Structure 1
């Protein structure tokens, strides 16, 4: 007697992916056709572009090969567009801009496998925000410092990962056997 559970589970998983892809496609069309074109304010436009990038990034987790590359490029385009607006229209301490930098740096780290870019973006954003922290009101202060803490936590984690990888590479490159001079 064969166990049919794995097939049912696999079928359910495929159906869930299909529904997720369909819903994300609907959201992405909504961003492009209505939401992004209808806003003029920088923070709203940055928010919608950030969300567009987020949904594309989420899709990359389900894709492979050329499809993954195409979706990653769409993610990069959305995040870069949002970043361009944030850099010119939002202060470095703005929670939406900080959230964008958080998402964008995670994209660099997890999807593009670029820890240097991820760390560079997170550090630059954190440093610029910390320099202007005293300009914030109470509500913005709480929101901004929470996101800044997440940026700092990621930086700490990522830099320790990079250092660990470097130590592993040094160990792999070391000659085998007795290293004492003869």
Structure 2
């Protein structure tokens, strides 16, 4: 069983190193302890989710921009590859979400 203090420390380390998924995991464990979060813990949880979502949003914007450019050029082969990549990304994201859900049990 992880100690609350250790989990908060892990979240702080993850924040500095920027693997925000790890930061989310650490803070989810803290929230699962059924204790009121401190202001620092609430902030860490907020930062973790904000950065995870922000990174995914940025990726989607980039892919959409590339897709639009290729569509304007009429590059059907490249469009097919982009759309396959987007679909694979969705599948991988879904797998990560299920993995996180399973690790909670």
1:135 aligned residue: 33
**Structure-1 residue corresponding to 2:42:** 145
> Higher relative contact order at CA 8 Å, sep ≥6: structure 1 or structure 2?
2
Partner of 2:12: 99
2:21 to 116, 123, 129: 123
Paired residues for 1:142-181 under 5 Å: 142-176=39-73
- Whole-Å separation in 1 of the counterparts to 2:8 and 2:46: 12
TM-score by length of 2: 0.52
CA distance in 1, matches of 2:28, 2:6: 8
RMSD of equivalent CA atoms:
3.1
- List gaps (5 residues or longer) in structure 2: 77-105
Whole-Å separation in 1 of the counterparts to 2:21 and 2:17: 12
TM, length-normalised to structure 1 = 0.33
The structure with more radius of gyration: 1
Aligned counterparts of 2:6 and 2:43: Cα–Cα separation in 1: 11
Separation (CA, whole Å) in 2 of partners of 1:145 and 1:122: 15
Aligned to 1:38: none
| Range 158-167 or range 95-104, more displaced | 95-104
CA contact (8 A) 2:11 2:23 kept: yes
Contact 2:24 2:45 in 1 (8 A): yes
**Any idea what SS the aligned residue of 2:64 has?**
helix
**Contact conserved, 1:90 with 1:97, CA < 8 A, in 2?**
no
Q: Displacement, 1:92?
A: 8.1
